[in-house]
Structure 1
Amino acid sequence: MSSREQQRLQRENLLLQAENARLRKDRNRIGVDADFYFAGADSLEREVDLLREQVDRLRGENGWLREEVTRKEGKILELKKRLNKDAKKIVRLKEVLRRFVGEWKTGGITVESLEVLAEAADWKDK
């Protein structure tokens, strides 16, 4: 082997060693970057899991709230019906009282008018 070939081989060897060192450095950097990104991905996965749990909890609460609203709406309708009945009874009682007062002023109070007044004053449904 001639000295020229040896020098060429030495240069190639040095270039290969430099390339090898650069590749090792890149591999280490990539490894560090990969570890960083994997850690970040794990953190994001945990955050996603927490958010999913919150969404599930909120869906449950939302379902409970819907049921509660439905119950309250039913109660409101029931109270409106009772109020409507009571309002009709009050109107009837006012009419009977007006009639009774008129009969009282004229001195024409009868047993029948007292019975009608007592019946109108009775708040129970018949």
Structure 2
Amino acid sequence: MGVLITGIVLLYYFMDPSSSPYFLKCPFYHITGYYCTGCGSQRALHNLLHLDIAGVMRHNALFIPALLLIAYHWTIKYFPFKNSKKYPDIVYHPKTPVIVFLIVVLFTIFRNIPLFPFSLLAPAG
């Protein structure tokens, strides 16, 4: 698994998905013309690996929060803290999946509205 992840990281570091023909295009966008929640994530990963945080946010504003949530989950699952029962865990609250679902749905809707504040959520170029 580590070799696969390392290979993917190296691929996205050295090749730009916006100019390379080897990366898949979003099938949802290709079929419907609307941006999905993940549109721009490949370019965002490339920018993140080059430490271009502004570029990450231009391509997909949910990319960094999603990575942080995944990293937190893996940390808690694979490296549990000794005193973790002392602190409330908001990520594993019963309402968290509903809130995350609503954020994802609203983000997807808003990034497809072609008006000023919402158009900033659409992936750049």
TM range (shorter): under 0.3
Higher relative contact order (CA 8 A, sep 6+): 2
Q: State TM-score, norm by structure 2.
A: 0.20
Which structure has the highest helix share of the two?
1
Q: State TM-score, norm by structure 1.
A: 0.20
